[in-house]
Amino acid sequence: MVESPTMQQTPAGAAGPFSVPNLLTYGRILAVPAIVIVYYFDGYVGRWLALAIFIAASITDFLDGYLARIWKQQSAIGRMLDPIADKLLVATTLLLLVSDNTIGGWSLLAAIVILTREISVSGLREFLAELRVSVPVTRLAKWKTTMQMVAIGFLLAGPAGDRLFPHQSAMGSDMGIVSYIGLLLLWVSALVTLYTGYDYFRAGIRHLLSEES
């Protein structure tokens, strides 16, 4: 989930609710139930359809902020819905992958770390916004987001992707190479998520202590 420029502090009312950047954000929200529906299609078709929709939604995550910035179409509704759309997309796909054991065993911890961080950071952002405090998005956080989306993409392909490489198993196990790469990237994303979340918690705790002192 790219923490895009639509989330930055900009003058409200700079664009209408039906500007192109906002339409892309609406589309990303609509992609969430679409992924759920196609994911449960029979056979492997649903996997590829879910992956295609997920990729398209991930692209809009970059485009909405980029277009809002260059076209000067930032808006209050865009700043509100952009992070909501991102978290809905990530949380829903992770839950789908857990539901059919694509993410299972110890890898559940990686998914829990990612979801916990997203929920916690949302609360911290709300708190810091009341104090008019902003925490800049670091380059590492952007790489984390990209890696997270790539990991989910591999896992959505999952068994369907493994079929393309029938003789490629991961480290001698029955797991296909596509699923293995997805889980590996998910773990790396979870570890980086812990590190990047530290900046938000540090800022939140520092200002919370200053408020109470």
Q: pLDDT by residue (tens digit) across 179-193?
A: 999 999 999 999 998
According to the model, what pLDDT value does residue 209 have? 66
- Name the least confident of 44-48, 77-81, 136-140, 141-145: 136-140
Looking at residue 129, its pLDDT comes to 66
Highest mean predicted confidence (pLDDT) among 63-72, 126-135, 145-154, 160-169: 145-154
CA 50 to chain centroid, in Å, comes to 15
Confidence of residue 71 (pLDDT cuts 50, 70, 90): confident
Domain coordinates of the chain in residue numbers?
Answer: 5-212
Most confident of 81-85, 123-127, 138-142, 155-159: 155-159
Nearest alpha carbon to residue 151 among 88, 84, 90, 83 = 90
Counting residues of the chain whose pLDDT is more than 90, the rounded percentage is 37
> Half-sphere exposure (CA, 13 Å, Cβ side) for 192?
17
96 versus 133: the higher-pLDDT residue is 96
5-212: CATH topology: Four Helix Bundle (Hemerythrin (Met), subunit A) (1.20.120)
CA distance 40 to 192: 31
Place of tokens 């906002």: 22
Q: What is the mean pLDDT of residues 23-43?
A: 90
User: In the predicted model, is pLDDT for residue 11 greater than 50?
Assistant: no
Supply the angle between the helices 20-39 and 76-99 in degrees, to the nearest 10: 10
Tokens encoding 95: 């839950």
Stated pTM of the model: 0.82
Predicted pLDDT at 29:
93
Q: Whole-angstrom Cα distance, residue 124 to residue 131?
A: 11
- pLDDT band of residue 8 (cuts 50, 70, 90) is very low
For residues 8-37, give the mean pLDDT. Answer: 77
Q: Which long-range contacts (CB under 8 A, 24 or more apart) does 87-91 make?
A: 87/1, 87/118, 87/119, 87/122, 88/29, 88/32, 89/1, 89/28, 89/31, 89/32, 89/35, 89/54, 89/57, 89/58, 89/61, 90/1, 90/114, 90/115, 90/118, 90/148, 90/152, 91/115, 91/118
Amino acid at 105: G
* Mean pLDDT, range 166-190, rounded to an integer: 82
Rounded Cα distance between 71 and 184, Å, is 38
